[in-house]
Structure formats: C-alpha cells, structure tokens
Amino acid sequence: MKILYGMPNTRSFRALWALEEVGAEYRYQLVDLGKGAGQTPEFRAMNPAGKLPVLVDGKLVLSESAAICSYLAECYPHTGLIPEPGTADRARYNQWCFFALTELEQPLWTMAKHKFALPKEYRVRDVLETAAFEFKRAAQVLDAGLADRYFLVGDRFSMADLLVVHILSWARVSRVKHGFSRLDDYRERMIQRQAWQRAVAIESEKTGGTE
Ligand SMILES: N[C@@H](CCC(=O)N[C@@H](CS)C(=O)NCC(=O)O)C(=O)O
C-alpha cells in the first residue's frame, strides 16, 4: 500500500488529491512540521530537504509534488490523467506543469517566505510588491492559455490542471489577487471534482480546516 507523508494546508494536498483522482489504496501519515517532524533523522532519510509531500510506494521514496502527481497518473493509465509520452499533448502537459512550478507558484512562495516562512532576520518586506506583480504576470499567461479551453491540455482533466488549481487556491486563501475572472471560473469548475472534495474532507478531518 502506498503511504503519503503530508500535512494539511501544504503542497501535500496535491498528492492527496492525485491519490483520490487515481483511486489508489493508500495511508495518510501526518507529519507535523510545526512540531519539527520534518527534521527528524527518520524523515530526512526519506527526504533530505525535510519537506512534504513524500510518497512511499514499495521501494520507491518520492518527493516533489509534481513528480508524485505525474507518477501516480502513470501508474493508473486508465484514468487518462497524463497524456501519452511523445505526443503533443504530453509536451503541452509538461509545459504547464513546469510553468505552474516555476512561474505561477514561485511568486506566491516568495511572498509566503518573506511574510512568515523564513527566519525573521531573512525576511525582506520590499520584495512583496514585486512578487505580487510577478504573480499577476504569470496569471495573465494562464488566462491566455485558457482563453478557449475548458482544461489546460486536450479535452480532459490532467495533473497539470490539478497543480495549477492548487496554486490558484493557495493564492485565494492567501488573498493574493490576480484579477482574471476566467481563472476564478476555471478553478470553480475544477473543484467540483469529487476527488477534490474527498481530499478536502480528508484534510478537514485532520485539522478542522480546508485547503
Ligand atoms: N518543490 C517542493 C516543495 C515542497 C515544500 O516546500 N513543502 C513545504 C510544505 S508546502 C515543506 O514541507 N516545508 C517544510 C520546510 O521547509 O522545512 C514540492 O513541490 O513538493
């Protein structure tokens, strides 16, 4: 059985949602980062970065949320959550996954780091405005990409949508505005998925909160 090491309201939600999308059998192992559980020797043996999520599947110990989502999609090909390798759709899928992590998420992460995640002495409040500007610029690219589309790739939901929707949700709870109503509508459509709702319910059970 697969084991997901995660904590509510972190990027491990992506892996949790992905597990629900593919219908995998898994156990959710809570790692309380606030209590230093990411820094224990046991956890760092799995992920030297001490970060969540980590997925254990037999002998495979995998970190990086996007890698976990793509891996799960490949393990359950009948779900169609990742396009076939070597196709234009797969190339486009990769494009959006890399965009999600390097362009859309990074400004949000920069804001989070400089508001609370970094030790106080490393926080620079002046970068917040720049990061907000960068987030809007990335959102504009996403908005254009969705201009005539229901999903990011082809005519079905993929893990690329999952990553991007998680990031848009992160912006929403952090009250970071992008100003594109099409992105709000897109997010709203995607979170109607039953797997998203099950993942939210699982996290809520653990915390009383939602992602
Ligand atoms: N690029 C990684 C980032 C993982 C990451 O930064 N996770 C955060 C939670 S959202 C974490 O575990 N932070 C703990 C720490 O920085 O010590 C991914 O997408 O999985």
Q: Where are the domains of the chain?
A: 2-80+195-207, 88-193
C-alpha–C-alpha distance, residues 90 and 190, integer Å: 20
User: From ligand 1's centre to the CA of 52, what distance in Å?
Assistant: 5
| Average pLDDT score over residue span 158-172 | 98
Cβ of 47 closer than 6 Å to ligand 1, yes or no, is no
Our answer on whether the CB atom of 65 is closer than 6 Å to any ligand 1 atom is yes
C-alpha distances (whole Å) from 112 to each of 14, 54, 67, 125 are: 18, 21, 22, 11
- What CATH number is given for 88-193 in this structure? 1.20.1050.10
Nearest CA to ligand 1 atom 3: 64
Mutate to test the pocket of ligand 1, among 13, 30, 46, 51 (most ligand atoms within 8 A of CB): 51
Span 64-92, pLDDT tens digits: 999 999 999 999 999 999 999 999 999 99
Give the number of other CB atoms < 10 A from CB of residue 117: 12
Q: Is the predicted pLDDT of residue 209 greater than 90, yes or no? A: no
Does 105 sit in the ligand 1 pocket, CB within 6 Å? no
In the beta sheet, which residues pair with residue 30?
A: 6
Q: Where do the H-state alpha helices sit in the chain?
A: 12-22, 41-46, 65-75, 88-99, 105-112, 127-145, 159-173, 181-190, 194-207
**pLDDT number for residue 207:** 80
Q: Indicate whether 174 pLDDT > 80.
A: yes
Give the tens place of pLDDT for each residue, 28-76: 999 999 999 999 999 999 999 999 999 999 999 999 999 999 999 999 9
Our answer on whether the CB atom of 52 is closer than 6 Å to any ligand 1 atom is yes
Query: What pLDDT is attached to residue 211?
Result: 43
- The one-letter amino acid code at 106 reads Q
Among 6, 57, 18, CA closest to 160:
18
Q: What is the pLDDT of residue 210?
A: 41
- In the prediction, which pLDDT does 195 show? 98
Residue identifier of the C-alpha nearest atom 5 of ligand 1: 51
Residue 3 beta carbon below 6 angstroms from any ligand 1 atom: no
Q: Which fold has domain 2-80+195-207?
A: Glutaredoxin (3.40.30)
Residue whose token pair is 């809570």: 30
Query: How far from the centroid of its chain's Cα atoms is residue 158's Cα?
Result: 13
> pLDDT class for 206, splitting at 50, 70, 90?
confident
| Cα–Cα distance for residue pair 37/189, rounded to 1 Å | 35
Mean pLDDT of 186-204: 97
- At residue 152 the predicted structure's pLDDT band, cuts being 50, 70 and 90, is very high
Query: How confident is residue 208, by pLDDT bands cut at 50, 70 and 90?
Result: low
Residue 163 pLDDT greater than 50, yes or no: yes
pLDDT digits (tens, 9 = 90+) for 87-135: 999 999 999 999 999 999 999 999 999 999 999 999 999 999 999 999 9
Among 193, 146, 162, 189, residue whose Cα is nearest residue 81? 162
The three-class DSSP label of residue 85 is coil
Any atom of ligand 1 within 6 Å of the Cβ of 15? no
If one residue of 4, 11, 173 were mutated to test the ligand 1 pocket, choosing by the most ligand atoms within 8 A of its CB, it would be 11
pLDDT of 153 reads 98
Atom of ligand 1 at shortest range from CA of 50: 17
| Stated length of the chain | 211
What span, in angstroms and rounded, lies between the C-alpha atoms of 148 and 150? Answer: 7
| In the predicted structure, residue 20 carries a pLDDT above the cut 60 | yes
Say which residues have a Cβ less than 8 Å from residue 197's Cβ, sequence separation at least 6.
191
